[in-house]
């Protein structure tokens, strides 16, 4: 199973379109907020079930601030993170995921990618795909994460960057 995780597209889907063309078929898309009312366009483009949450720039939408999705043994807490202080640290989003019995937390808002695998089965893996539109990390490359669940039910996360010329680099 292949899950594409994106965030902070802010109504600009050109890079998302490039990513979808390059990585091929996905089974699910998770968008961690700041969609800016482009959910229908993204869902049509993805051609698969999608999960969206409301970000701080998603005015006038009926999206929830939080969603929980489950894939195999992975219960995933999805939020934008702006109400949980993710600019300073990840304790708020980690605690919220634990309270909801989730072992993965996916969030956005900072426009900086994070892949922090939990050190134990009792921990919470933290995933922030960064931004495909307005990246803010060093090098400012648009980024996204793929979560692939292998035939044994184990998740593998890959942080990917969209480079000039639409090539990818992988972390």
Domain of 71: which CATH number?
Answer: 3.60.21.10
* Predicted confidence band of residue 169 (pLDDT cuts 50, 70, 90): low
Q: How many domains is the chain partitioned into structurally?
A: 1
Q: What percent of the chain has pLDDT over 90?
A: 90
Q: Which domain holds residue 124?
A: 2-170
* Predicted confidence band of residue 171 (pLDDT cuts 50, 70, 90): very low
What does the pLDDT look like over 143-163, one tens digit per residue?
A: 999 999 999 999 999 999 997
Prediction pTM value:
0.94
Distance in angstroms (rounded) separating the CA atoms of residues 129 and 24: 18
Q: Which of 71, 52, 47 is nearest to 125 (CA)?
A: 71
What does the pLDDT look like over 56-66, one tens digit per residue?
A: 999 989 999 99
Distance in angstroms (rounded) separating the CA atoms of residues 15 and 103: 29
**158, 146 contact by CB (below 8 A):** yes
Predicted local distance difference test score (pLDDT) of residue 58: 97
Return the ∠ at Cα 125 (arms to 110 and 23), rounded to 5°: 70
Residue with the larger pLDDT of the pair 164 and 163: 163
* Structure-block tokens of residue 43: 């869902």
């Amino acid at each position: 199973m292949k899950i594409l995780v994106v965030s902070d597209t802010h109504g600009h889907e050109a890079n998302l379109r490039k990513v979808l063309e390059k990585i091929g078929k996905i089974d699910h898309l998770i968008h961690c907020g700041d969609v800016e009312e482009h959910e229908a366009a993204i869902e049509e483009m993805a051609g698969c079930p999608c999960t969206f949450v409301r970000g701080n720039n998603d005015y006038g939408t009926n999206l929830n601030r939080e969603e929980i999705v489950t894939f195999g043994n992975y219960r995933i807490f999805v939020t934008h993170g702006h109400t949980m202080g993710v600019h300073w640290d990840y304790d708020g989003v980690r605690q919220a995921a634990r309270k909801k019995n989730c072992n993965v937390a996916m969030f956005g808002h900072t426009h900086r990618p994070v892949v922090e695998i939990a050190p134990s089965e009792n921990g919470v893996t933290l995933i922030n795909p960064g931004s495909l539109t307005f990246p803010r990390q060093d090098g400012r490359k648009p980024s996204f994460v793929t979560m692939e669940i292998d035939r044994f039910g184990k998740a593998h996360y890959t942080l990917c960057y969209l480079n000039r010329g639409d090539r990818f680099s992988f972390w």
